[in-house]
Structure 1
Amino acid sequence: MAKVVSVNISKKKGTVKKPIEKGYFRENHGLEGDAHAGRGHRQVSLLAEESIEKMKAKGIWDLAAGKFAENITTEGIELHTLPVGTKLKIGEEVILEISQIGKKCHEACEIRKITGDCILPMEGIFARVLKSGFIKPGDEIIVINE
Protein backbone atom coordinates (compact mmCIF):
# COMPACT_ATOMS: atom_id res chain seq x y z
CA MET A 1 0.00 0.00 0.00
CA ALA A 2 1.24 3.46 -0.91
CA LYS A 3 0.92 5.94 1.93
CA VAL A 4 1.91 9.34 3.29
CA VAL A 5 4.87 9.20 5.67
CA SER A 6 5.02 12.92 6.48
CA VAL A 7 3.39 16.27 5.66
CA ASN A 8 5.97 19.09 5.68
CA ILE A 9 5.79 22.87 5.64
CA SER A 10 8.09 25.90 5.56
CA LYS A 11 7.37 29.62 5.79
CA LYS A 12 10.28 30.52 3.48
CA LYS A 13 11.22 29.21 0.02
CA GLY A 14 14.43 27.24 -0.41
CA THR A 15 14.53 26.01 3.18
CA VAL A 16 14.08 22.63 4.84
CA LYS A 17 10.45 21.91 5.68
CA LYS A 18 9.28 20.76 9.11
CA PRO A 19 6.81 17.90 9.64
CA ILE A 20 3.29 18.81 10.81
CA GLU A 21 0.44 16.71 12.24
CA LYS A 22 -1.79 17.34 9.20
CA GLY A 23 -2.08 19.89 6.43
CA TYR A 24 -4.93 21.46 4.52
CA PHE A 25 -4.36 21.29 0.77
CA ARG A 26 -6.51 23.89 -0.94
CA GLU A 27 -7.74 23.51 -4.52
CA ASN A 28 -5.62 25.41 -7.05
CA HIS A 29 -3.37 26.70 -4.26
CA GLY A 30 -1.41 24.01 -2.38
CA LEU A 31 -0.61 23.46 1.29
CA GLU A 32 -2.09 26.28 3.41
CA GLY A 33 0.69 28.27 5.07
CA ASP A 34 3.51 26.88 2.92
CA ALA A 35 5.88 29.28 1.15
CA HIS A 36 5.52 27.41 -2.16
CA ALA A 37 1.72 27.44 -2.22
CA GLY A 38 -0.05 29.58 -4.79
CA ARG A 39 -1.28 29.57 -8.35
CA GLY A 40 0.73 27.77 -10.97
CA HIS A 41 1.55 24.17 -11.69
CA ARG A 42 4.00 23.49 -8.82
CA GLN A 43 1.61 23.90 -5.88
CA VAL A 44 2.73 20.78 -4.00
CA SER A 45 5.98 18.78 -4.03
CA LEU A 46 6.25 15.07 -3.29
CA LEU A 47 9.24 12.82 -2.71
CA ALA A 48 9.33 9.11 -1.94
CA GLU A 49 11.01 7.76 1.20
CA GLU A 50 12.67 5.29 -1.18
CA SER A 51 14.40 8.21 -2.95
CA ILE A 52 15.64 9.55 0.39
CA GLU A 53 17.01 6.05 1.15
CA LYS A 54 19.07 6.25 -2.08
CA MET A 55 20.77 9.36 -0.67
CA LYS A 56 21.39 7.59 2.63
CA ALA A 57 23.02 4.74 0.68
CA LYS A 58 25.46 7.33 -0.71
CA GLY A 59 26.58 8.00 2.86
CA ILE A 60 24.42 11.01 3.66
CA TRP A 61 22.85 9.83 6.91
CA ASP A 62 21.35 12.97 8.45
CA LEU A 63 18.24 12.91 6.29
CA ALA A 64 14.60 13.02 7.32
CA ALA A 65 11.22 13.91 5.88
CA GLY A 66 11.13 17.52 4.68
CA LYS A 67 14.90 17.81 4.32
CA PHE A 68 14.53 18.06 0.54
CA ALA A 69 11.77 20.68 0.90
CA GLU A 70 9.03 18.27 -0.12
CA ASN A 71 5.49 18.88 1.14
CA ILE A 72 4.55 15.21 1.14
CA THR A 73 6.92 12.33 1.84
CA THR A 74 5.52 9.05 0.56
CA GLU A 75 6.23 5.34 0.85
CA GLY A 76 5.38 2.41 -1.41
CA ILE A 77 5.00 4.31 -4.69
CA GLU A 78 7.60 5.19 -7.35
CA LEU A 79 6.46 8.75 -7.87
CA HIS A 80 9.01 9.71 -10.53
CA THR A 81 7.82 6.89 -12.84
CA LEU A 82 4.25 8.25 -13.02
CA PRO A 83 3.54 10.40 -16.09
CA VAL A 84 2.48 14.03 -15.96
CA GLY A 85 -1.31 14.14 -15.81
CA THR A 86 -1.61 11.19 -13.42
CA LYS A 87 -4.12 11.83 -10.65
CA LEU A 88 -3.53 10.73 -7.05
CA LYS A 89 -6.22 10.44 -4.40
CA ILE A 90 -4.71 10.97 -0.97
CA GLY A 91 -6.67 10.24 2.17
CA GLU A 92 -10.43 10.75 2.14
CA GLU A 93 -10.70 13.85 -0.03
CA VAL A 94 -7.61 15.27 -1.70
CA ILE A 95 -6.96 14.78 -5.40
CA LEU A 96 -3.64 15.89 -6.88
CA GLU A 97 -2.61 15.93 -10.53
CA ILE A 98 1.07 15.43 -11.35
CA SER A 99 2.22 18.49 -13.25
CA GLN A 100 6.03 18.13 -13.41
CA ILE A 101 8.69 15.47 -12.79
CA GLY A 102 11.89 16.85 -11.27
CA LYS A 103 13.27 20.36 -11.46
CA LYS A 104 16.56 22.15 -11.90
CA CYS A 105 18.25 22.91 -8.59
CA HIS A 106 19.30 26.54 -8.22
CA GLU A 107 22.85 27.45 -7.19
CA ALA A 108 21.92 28.69 -3.72
CA CYS A 109 19.91 25.56 -2.91
CA GLU A 110 19.98 25.18 0.88
CA ILE A 111 19.12 21.50 0.58
CA ARG A 112 22.14 20.81 -1.66
CA LYS A 113 24.35 22.71 0.80
CA ILE A 114 23.06 20.68 3.75
CA THR A 115 22.98 17.25 2.10
CA GLY A 116 25.76 17.60 -0.46
CA ASP A 117 23.39 16.48 -3.18
CA CYS A 118 19.73 16.81 -4.08
CA ILE A 119 17.50 14.02 -5.36
CA LEU A 120 14.55 16.35 -6.01
CA PRO A 121 15.76 17.28 -9.54
CA MET A 122 15.55 13.62 -10.63
CA GLU A 123 12.91 11.97 -8.46
CA GLY A 124 10.79 14.68 -6.87
CA ILE A 125 7.44 15.46 -8.43
CA PHE A 126 5.15 18.46 -8.43
CA ALA A 127 1.37 18.55 -8.49
CA ARG A 128 -1.64 20.81 -8.64
CA VAL A 129 -4.45 20.42 -6.10
CA LEU A 130 -7.68 19.50 -7.90
CA LYS A 131 -9.77 18.78 -4.81
CA SER A 132 -9.24 20.28 -1.33
CA GLY A 133 -8.93 18.49 1.98
CA PHE A 134 -6.65 17.41 4.79
CA ILE A 135 -3.66 15.08 4.42
CA LYS A 136 -1.92 13.43 7.37
CA PRO A 137 0.72 10.72 7.87
CA GLY A 138 -0.71 7.27 7.30
CA ASP A 139 -3.19 8.37 4.61
CA GLU A 140 -3.41 5.98 1.67
CA ILE A 141 -2.34 7.10 -1.82
CA ILE A 142 -4.30 5.69 -4.74
CA VAL A 143 -3.34 6.23 -8.39
CA ILE A 144 -6.62 7.16 -10.08
CA ASN A 145 -5.25 7.00 -13.63
CA GLU A 146 -1.92 6.65 -15.35
Structure 2
Amino acid sequence: MGKVMAVNISEKRGTQKVNVHTVKLIENYGLENDAHAGNWHRQVSLLSYEKIEEFKEKGAPVQDGAFGENLIVQGFDFRTLPVGTRLKCNDVILEITQIGKQCHNGCEIFKIMGDCIMPREGVFARVIHGGVISEGDEMDYA
Protein backbone atom coordinates (compact mmCIF):
# COMPACT_ATOMS: atom_id res chain seq x y z
CA MET A 1 0.00 0.00 0.00
CA GLY A 2 1.18 3.51 -0.75
CA LYS A 3 0.35 7.11 0.06
CA VAL A 4 -0.08 9.96 -2.42
CA MET A 5 2.45 12.66 -1.50
CA ALA A 6 1.79 15.16 -4.31
CA VAL A 7 -0.63 15.73 -7.20
CA ASN A 8 0.92 17.74 -10.05
CA ILE A 9 -0.34 19.21 -13.32
CA SER A 10 0.85 21.65 -15.96
CA GLU A 11 -1.76 23.55 -17.92
CA LYS A 12 0.62 24.11 -20.86
CA ARG A 13 3.09 21.69 -22.44
CA GLY A 14 6.71 22.61 -21.89
CA THR A 15 6.10 24.10 -18.43
CA GLN A 16 6.97 22.49 -15.11
CA LYS A 17 4.13 20.77 -13.30
CA VAL A 18 2.95 22.30 -10.02
CA ASN A 19 1.33 20.67 -7.01
CA VAL A 20 -2.43 21.31 -7.02
CA HIS A 21 -2.96 18.99 -3.99
CA THR A 22 -6.18 17.45 -5.38
CA VAL A 23 -7.37 16.64 -8.88
CA LYS A 24 -10.15 14.97 -10.81
CA LEU A 25 -9.08 12.08 -13.05
CA ILE A 26 -11.24 11.46 -16.08
CA GLU A 27 -11.72 7.97 -17.50
CA ASN A 28 -9.65 7.33 -20.63
CA TYR A 29 -8.34 10.93 -20.54
CA GLY A 30 -6.14 11.70 -17.52
CA LEU A 31 -5.93 14.55 -15.03
CA GLU A 32 -8.36 17.41 -15.51
CA ASN A 33 -6.55 20.55 -16.77
CA ASP A 34 -3.26 18.73 -17.37
CA ALA A 35 -1.68 19.50 -20.74
CA HIS A 36 -0.55 15.89 -21.21
CA ALA A 37 -3.99 14.36 -20.74
CA GLY A 38 -5.71 12.85 -23.75
CA ASN A 39 -6.80 9.66 -25.44
CA TRP A 40 -3.44 7.88 -25.39
CA HIS A 41 -1.42 5.46 -23.25
CA ARG A 42 0.45 8.07 -21.15
CA GLN A 43 -2.48 9.80 -19.43
CA VAL A 44 -0.92 9.78 -15.94
CA SER A 45 2.74 9.70 -14.90
CA LEU A 46 3.80 8.28 -11.53
CA LEU A 47 7.07 8.45 -9.64
CA SER A 48 8.14 6.94 -6.34
CA TYR A 49 8.57 9.38 -3.45
CA GLU A 50 11.50 7.33 -2.17
CA LYS A 51 13.35 7.56 -5.51
CA ILE A 52 12.90 11.34 -5.57
CA GLU A 53 14.22 11.61 -2.01
CA GLU A 54 17.28 9.48 -2.89
CA PHE A 55 17.97 11.80 -5.84
CA LYS A 56 17.61 14.87 -3.60
CA GLU A 57 20.25 13.41 -1.27
CA LYS A 58 22.70 13.64 -4.20
CA GLY A 59 22.10 17.40 -4.24
CA ALA A 60 19.35 17.59 -6.85
CA PRO A 61 17.39 20.85 -6.50
CA VAL A 62 13.99 19.37 -7.39
CA GLN A 63 10.47 20.23 -6.30
CA ASP A 64 7.18 18.39 -6.79
CA GLY A 65 6.52 18.06 -10.52
CA ALA A 66 10.13 18.70 -11.58
CA PHE A 67 10.32 15.39 -13.47
CA GLY A 68 6.96 15.94 -15.16
CA GLU A 69 5.29 13.46 -12.82
CA ASN A 70 1.58 13.75 -12.03
CA LEU A 71 1.51 11.60 -8.92
CA ILE A 72 4.27 11.16 -6.35
CA VAL A 73 3.49 8.07 -4.30
CA GLN A 74 5.27 6.74 -1.22
CA GLY A 75 5.48 2.98 -0.76
CA PHE A 76 5.75 1.75 -4.38
CA ASP A 77 8.81 0.96 -6.47
CA PHE A 78 6.95 1.51 -9.72
CA ARG A 79 9.70 0.31 -12.05
CA THR A 80 9.30 -3.22 -10.64
CA LEU A 81 5.61 -3.42 -11.55
CA PRO A 82 4.79 -5.00 -14.90
CA VAL A 83 2.79 -3.29 -17.61
CA GLY A 84 -0.87 -4.13 -16.99
CA THR A 85 -0.65 -3.72 -13.20
CA ARG A 86 -3.74 -1.96 -11.87
CA LEU A 87 -3.65 0.49 -8.99
CA LYS A 88 -6.60 1.84 -7.00
CA CYS A 89 -6.90 5.14 -5.16
CA ASN A 90 -10.39 6.00 -3.89
CA ASP A 91 -12.64 5.40 -6.94
CA VAL A 92 -9.77 5.84 -9.40
CA ILE A 93 -8.32 2.80 -11.14
CA LEU A 94 -5.10 3.21 -13.12
CA GLU A 95 -3.46 0.65 -15.39
CA ILE A 96 0.30 0.84 -15.99
CA THR A 97 1.00 1.10 -19.71
CA GLN A 98 4.69 2.01 -19.92
CA ILE A 99 7.76 1.81 -17.70
CA GLY A 100 10.24 4.63 -18.16
CA LYS A 101 10.70 6.91 -21.14
CA GLN A 102 13.48 8.50 -23.08
CA CYS A 103 14.42 11.82 -21.51
CA HIS A 104 14.05 14.69 -23.94
CA ASN A 105 17.20 16.55 -24.96
CA GLY A 106 18.04 19.45 -22.72
CA CYS A 107 16.25 18.22 -19.59
CA GLU A 108 17.07 20.84 -16.93
CA ILE A 109 17.63 18.20 -14.25
CA PHE A 110 20.08 16.30 -16.45
CA LYS A 111 21.94 19.53 -17.26
CA ILE A 112 22.44 20.21 -13.54
CA MET A 113 22.96 16.67 -12.21
CA GLY A 114 24.24 14.68 -15.19
CA ASP A 115 21.40 12.25 -14.46
CA CYS A 116 17.59 12.09 -14.40
CA ILE A 117 15.51 9.41 -12.69
CA MET A 118 12.31 9.71 -14.76
CA PRO A 119 13.61 7.63 -17.71
CA ARG A 120 14.24 4.60 -15.47
CA GLU A 121 11.97 5.13 -12.45
CA GLY A 122 8.83 6.76 -13.83
CA VAL A 123 5.83 4.87 -15.13
CA PHE A 124 2.80 5.85 -17.15
CA ALA A 125 -0.79 4.75 -16.81
CA ARG A 126 -4.20 5.20 -18.32
CA VAL A 127 -7.32 5.97 -16.33
CA ILE A 128 -9.64 2.93 -16.28
CA HIS A 129 -12.11 4.54 -13.84
CA GLY A 130 -12.20 8.19 -12.90
CA GLY A 131 -12.58 10.00 -9.60
CA VAL A 132 -10.68 12.36 -7.33
CA ILE A 133 -7.20 11.92 -5.85
CA SER A 134 -5.74 14.16 -3.14
CA GLU A 135 -2.50 14.32 -1.19
CA GLY A 136 -2.62 11.89 1.70
CA ASP A 137 -4.90 9.38 -0.06
CA GLU A 138 -3.95 5.71 0.06
CA MET A 139 -3.09 3.77 -3.11
CA ASP A 140 -3.12 0.00 -3.41
CA TYR A 141 -3.30 -2.72 -6.02
CA ALA A 142 -6.72 -2.98 -7.67
Fold conserved between structures, TM > 0.5: yes
The TM-score, its normalising length taken from structure 2, stands at 0.93
SS at the partner of 2:7?
strand
Deviation at 1:116, TM superposition (A): 4.7
The equivalent of 1:141 in structure 2 is 139
CA distance in structure 2 between the aligned counterparts of 1:21 and 1:59, rounded to whole angstroms:
25
CA-based RMSD: 1.5
Mapped to 1, the partners of 2:121 and 2:14 lie a distance apart of 17
Matched residue, 1:74: 73
Deviations 1:53-94 (A, max 9, x none): 12112221x22221111000110111111100000001x200
Structure 2: 5+ residue stretches without partners? none
Kindly tell me the number of residue pairs found equivalent between the two proteins.
142
CA distance in 2, matches of 1:80, 1:121: 10
- Per the TM alignment, residue 13 of structure 1 is displaced from its structure 2 partner at its CA by 2.2
Alignment counterpart, residue 102 of structure 1, candidates 95, 100, 103: 100
Contact 1:100–1:126 (Cα < 8 Å) also in 2: yes
CA distance, structure 1, for counterparts of residue 17 and residue 113 of structure 2 = 14
- Distance between the aligned counterparts of 2:128 and 2:70, measured in 1? 16
User: 1:103 Cα shift?
Assistant: 0.1
| TM superposition shift of 1:114 | 5.8
Identity %: 56
**Contact 1:6–1:74 (8 Å) recurs in 2:** yes
Could you tell me how far apart the structure 2 residues matched to 1:115 and 1:130 are?
36
Provide closer, same or farther for how the CA distance between residues 124 and 58 of structure 1 changes in structure 2, counting only shifts above 3 A.
Answer: same
Post-superposition offset of 1:14? 3.4
Aligned to 1:125: 123
8 A contact 1:30–1:129 mirrored in 2: yes
- The one-character-per-residue Cα deviations of 1:23-44 (angstroms, maximum 9, x if unpaired) are 0110000001001000110000
- Under a length normalisation based on structure 1, what TM-score does the superposition of the two structures give? 0.90
SS in 2 for 1:56: helix
Unaligned runs of 5+ in 1: none
